Structure 1
Amino acid sequence: MTRNSRPGARPRGGDAPPATGRYPAPMLHLRMITPADRTEDVVRLIEETVGAAHLAVLPGAARIPAGDVVLCDVAREAGDALIGRLRELGIAERGSISMEHTDLTLSTRADEAEAAAPGEGADAVLWDQLTDATHEESTLSLTYVAFLTIATMIAACGVVLDNAILIVGAMAVGPEFGPLAGFCTALVRRAPRLVLRSLVALLAGFAAAMAVTVLFSLFMDAAGLFSRAQLEGARPNTSFVYAPDWFSFVVAVLAGAAGTLSLTSAKSGALVGVAISVTTVPAAANAAVALSYGDTGQTRGSVEQLLFNMLGIVVAGTLTLLAQRCFWARRRTGPLFSRPGPG
């Protein structure tokens, strides 16, 4: 295997580029079950969609529900508009629409479709996918509460020991960004049930995590591992968790914008950076430990820090989604459905 033939390597020098002059781009693969009386409408819609390719129809292949199976690939930047039109045809109610990301599509037709679609795939927002993902992340499940509780207990050790490494680790473990993103998405999409679901996950999750952490703190104190002197002593590395200021809000706003962009662009790696940028879990942990010792000053400051951070994330996340929706609303009125015939 040559140096340039390893997986993921781009051609250099004398290696031949793709015929279109573009490198293969990942596409969205759509699989639909359509009622027989809607198949022609669906096929026509896909044929007219700029950015669509590889259309296939399997008449009568579906059994539950009965109907035809329609397959196609579409550029990410054209995906949301196409799915919206399919929903208008009632395919989601009478059949089904499934979507998955393809890691690689080797096809000249796919390269041409991706080039023809307006905008960049990395900027595109798939609203139905975002709603579904945040709905799942906003579920008050045992796993969610367990992760949040464990993260809060790790942070409790960090604040008592004034250990920044434990604080960063707890931030990375905490799953609280999911419900916060769900809340932002619900506000933008005007989905009151998702708003309630996200609020319940946030409030009940943090309440449970802090209650368990209070008991954990009392146990650690009885075991001689925690002490009030450690909590109230000099803590240069972690005192910020109970001293909210405008810098805390600014960082939360920036982190909220970055986290929302990482969700909408499918760049989940950025979420780790978001998680270790805000002090929601450490603030909850410090509040719980302080409460176990009756330190109302630190408890109050920590709760304020927690709320300050959540407010900043929600404000930034909501504004980011509104800006993206405004941008892509213009794209949907553009030439996405103007191709004269099948390609």
Structure 2
Amino acid sequence: MLHLRLIVPAHRTHEVVSLFERSVGTAHLAVLAGAGRNPAGDLVLCDVAREAADDVLRELREIGIDECGSIAVETIDLSLSKRADKAEKEAPGEGSDAVVWEQLVNATHEESTLSVTYLAFLTVATMLAACGVVLDNAILIVGAMAVGPEFGPLAGLCTALVRRAPRLALRSLLALLVGFAVAMALTTLFSLFMDAVDLFHKAEVEAERPNTAFIYRPDWFSFVVAFLAGVAGTLSLTSAKSGALVGVAISVTTVPAAANAAVALGYSDYGQARGSSEQLLLNLAGIVVAGTLTLLAQRLFWAHHTRARPPAYPNVGSRGGS
């Protein structure tokens, strides 16, 4: 279940209440007249089954509640109520299959922001992977994969392609391009510093590395793994099962490939740098293709699933209110 908290202008409250009352999958409707101060209005509270939430949120935006008031959505971890059980039973489909698009767009928007924290995480992850590359240490490589924050912008790009949101696409691309460019440049300097203090050696980078040689030797398995990880990562976001993202992070070699390319550039090993760059691009492409196709499949599945049933609620009025 999701909890909706709205501040609604007093003259629009009846319209919103009617919408909730006529919608399937709603419960625990409450109105606190005049409780809103900024913006001024009535406070309307309602719980909505996840599988019915997308329709309700879309209708609320269509009648302009997000412009004249406010809409806040929270996830309910536990609801002990027969009415809530009834609402979930009345709502079509399963909550785990439903995509709350507004929630997804908001989450990916935040995760795809080019911030100092994002750059710091990506840079530290790339430097950690550089240590793993030189030492041929798979544990360090896995750790670097888990630290890397790059799936956020990748998910944002997939969402932008499906939702046709150019601003989100631009934001996500900027975070990816600038983020990896900065991380790789700083990691190259880091590797040169480590070489100067005799901790990194060119011979170690060019030696046979049974645990990490795959990083600069891309093949079709690289794309297949990235594709499967993209599917799993997208499903974890849309179903709110964020724990699966850790498994996704350690399934693809985006950060290790960037690190290997940076270290190889520092030692002028252009063969490894080229192979690592191809590995990086192959993984990024696999995730984006898989994520986009997964979101499209989910949208088509839900549209087909709901086409046979009547609308969750009828037209409850125009933007002008009632």
TM-score tier after normalising by the smaller chain length: over 0.9
2:6 and 2:72 in contact (8 A); partners too: yes
* Structure 2 residue 314 is matched with structure 1 residue 326: no
2:168 is aligned to 194
Post-superposition shift, 1:34? 1.1
Post-superposition shift, 1:39? 1.2
1:261 is aligned to 235
1:15 is aligned to none
Distance 2:251 2:312 in 1: 42
1:45 and 1:337 in contact (8 A); partners too: no
2:13 is aligned to 39
Post-superposition shift, 1:197? 0.5
How many positions carry a matched residue from both structures? 313
Correspondence list, 1:260-339, <5 A:
260-331=234-305, 333=307, 334-337=309-312
Post-superposition shift, 1:336? 4.9
2:55 and 2:312 in contact (8 A); partners too: no
2:212 is aligned to 238
Distance 1:134 1:336 in 2: 28
CA pair 81-331 structure 1, distance change in 2 beyond 3 A: farther
1:51 and 1:336 in contact (8 A); partners too: no
Post-superposition shift, 1:42? 0.9
Post-superposition shift, 1:116? 1.0
Among the aligned pairs, what percent are the same residue? 75
Whichever residue aligns with residue 115 of structure 2, its letter is S
Q: Deviations over 1:282-340 (max 9, x none)?
A: 0000000000000000000000000000000000000001111112234554345259x
Post-superposition shift, 1:263? 0.3
Distance 1:272 1:210 in 2: 23
Alignment equivalent of 2:93, drawn from 119, 122, 125: 119
Q: Which runs of 5+ in 2 are unaligned?
A: 315-322
* Structure 2 residue 53 is matched with structure 1 residue 79: yes
Distance 2:165 2:272 in 1: 36
TM-score normalised by structure 2 residue count: 0.95
CA pair 332-64 structure 1, distance change in 2 beyond 3 A: farther
1:33 and 1:67 in contact (8 A); partners too: yes
TM-score normalised by structure 1 residue count: 0.89
Query: Residue 244 of structure 1 aligns to a residue in which SS?
Result: coil
1:18 is aligned to none
Alignment equivalent of 2:194, drawn from 217, 220, 223: 220
Distance 2:310 2:82 in 1: 21
1:287 and 1:298 in contact (8 A); partners too: yes
Q: Aligned-residue CA RMSD in angstroms?
A: 1.1
2:9 and 2:68 in contact (8 A); partners too: yes
2:318 is aligned to none
